[in-house]
Amino acid sequence: MALLGMRTVAFAAALGLLSTAASAATVVNVQLWDQGAGKVMRTDMAYQAPGLDLTKATMGVKLSRSSAPAGAVTFQVANTSKDTVHEMVVMHLKDPADPLPMSRAKVDESKADKKGEVPELAAGISGTLTVTLKPGKYLLICNQPKHFAAGMWAQFEVTK
């Protein structure tokens, strides 16, 4: 009888491991960077800005991958700045041609399709966000005042 119980426990444990592996989140490493607080911040680098050349941005968002399959996605976010607070907000783009709603030099999160965020990270600090995402186009942004317009955004796609 004890042997049967041990086999049942072992079988249940194996099933648990299989279901955990099947539902593991896709990991995306996110680096929030800038050239330092002493650098003049550009404010003409927002998503869809005319004549956009992100190579001239003084801050930005760098991703280890630009897409993931639908389901759980874990964003491991590192603020690599030496002196500036950053954050990462996941915004779903219902229509990628539409601009994000702005208010006071920031994206108005209450009017956008926000899916989650890693709130304010001091310089050198990291954070993690796991969110379940459906197929579509997304932007990962820093929504500190003027940072989005300074180029702190990256496109991200979730596939089927």
Of 35-39, 88-92, 106-110, the least confident? 35-39
pLDDT band at 4 (very low <50, low <70, confident <90, very high): very low
Burial of 86 (0-12, 13-18, 19+ CB in 10 A): buried
CA distance 25 to 130: 8
Q: For residue 103, what pLDDT is reported? A: 93
Q: For residue 6, what pLDDT is reported? A: 42
Q: For residue 23, what pLDDT is reported? A: 61
CA distance 114 to 65: 20
pLDDT band at 50 (very low <50, low <70, confident <90, very high): confident
Query: Residue 137's closest CA among 111, 110, 159, 109?
Result: 159
Examine the pLDDT at 83 and tell me if it is beyond 50: yes
Mean local confidence (pLDDT), 17-30 = 71
3-state secondary structure of 4: helix
Q: With contact defined as beta carbons under 8 Å apart, do 50 and 99 qualify?
A: no
Element (H, E) at 76: strand 71-79
Examine the pLDDT at 10 and tell me if it is beyond 80: no
Examine the pLDDT at 28 and tell me if it is beyond 90: yes
Match domain 25-159 to its CATH number in 1.10.3720.10, 2.60.40.420, 3.20.20.370, 3.40.50.20: 2.60.40.420
Q: With contact defined as beta carbons under 8 Å apart, do 89 and 114 qualify?
A: yes
Q: Which residues contact 113 (CB under 8 A, 6 or more apart)?
A: 91, 92, 93, 94
Rounded to two decimals, the pTM is 0.84
Mean local confidence (pLDDT), 114-125 = 98
Q: For residue 13, what pLDDT is reported? A: 43
